[in-house]
Amino acid sequence: MAVHPVTIVGEPVLHRRAAEVEAFDDELRALIADMFETMDKANGVGLAAPQIGVGLRIFVYGMANDDGVPPRGVLVNPTLVTSKISGADPDPEEESEGCLSVPGEAYPLKRAEWVKVTGFDGDGKPVEFEATGWFARCMQHEYDHLDGKLYVDRLNARQGRKAKKAVKAHGWGVPGLTWLPGVDPDPFGH
C-alpha cells in the first residue's frame, strides 16, 4: 500500500468524466488499498480515484452513518439516484463542504437528503444501499468527482465567486499541483 499525492483543482483528470472499470483484478484491489490509505492519511471521509490522478470510476469512503451501511467501503462503477434538492440557500453552519482537492477551503452547498447507490465492490460483487443526511452528501460529493465535477462547480453564484477568488489567490486552477497527505501539513488542521 502507498499514499498518493492528492491532485488540486485545475488538474485535468479532476475535470473530465472518469472511465468505467473493466477488470476486477489484483491491480484494482491494490489501487483501492492505496486509496483507503491515502484517504486515511488525509483525514478524509471519501476519496475518488481522479483525486489521486487515476481517471477511473472508483471511490472509497469512511464515514459512520445511521443507514445500516458499513462505515468503510468502496464503490466501483457506481450509479446514484437522488431525492430532489431544495432550492433554498444553503445554511453556512450546517451545510458547508470541503474537498481534499480544494484543500483548506469550505463552502455551503445544498445537496439531496437521500440517495440510492448501486455499484460493485473491489471483487465485482454488486453493492446497493440507501444513504441519508451527511452520508448522502458524501456519496454525492464523491460521485461528482467521477463525472468531472468538484463541489465548487455546484455552488450558488455568491459562494462560487468566493471559491473562484480563493482558487486564484492560492495559485490553483492549473495542472501539476498536488499535496501529499502525511508529509505536507493537513490543510484542514486535523
State the binding site: 99, 141, 145
The cell numbers describing 58, all together, are 472508483
Q: Comparing C-alpha atoms, which of 57, 51, 64, 73 is closest to residue 3?
A: 51
Backbone conformation region of residue 77, classed left if phi is above 0, alpha if psi is from -120 to 50, else beta? left
Q: Which residues contact 34 (CB under 8 A, 6 or more apart)?
A: 1, 2, 3, 4, 52
Backbone conformation region of residue 53, classed left if phi is above 0, alpha if psi is from -120 to 50, else beta? left
Active site residues: 142
Q: How far is CA 148 from CA 2, 23, 36, 40, 158, in A?
A: 24, 22, 21, 23, 22
- Binding-site residue numbers for Fe cation are 99, 141, 145
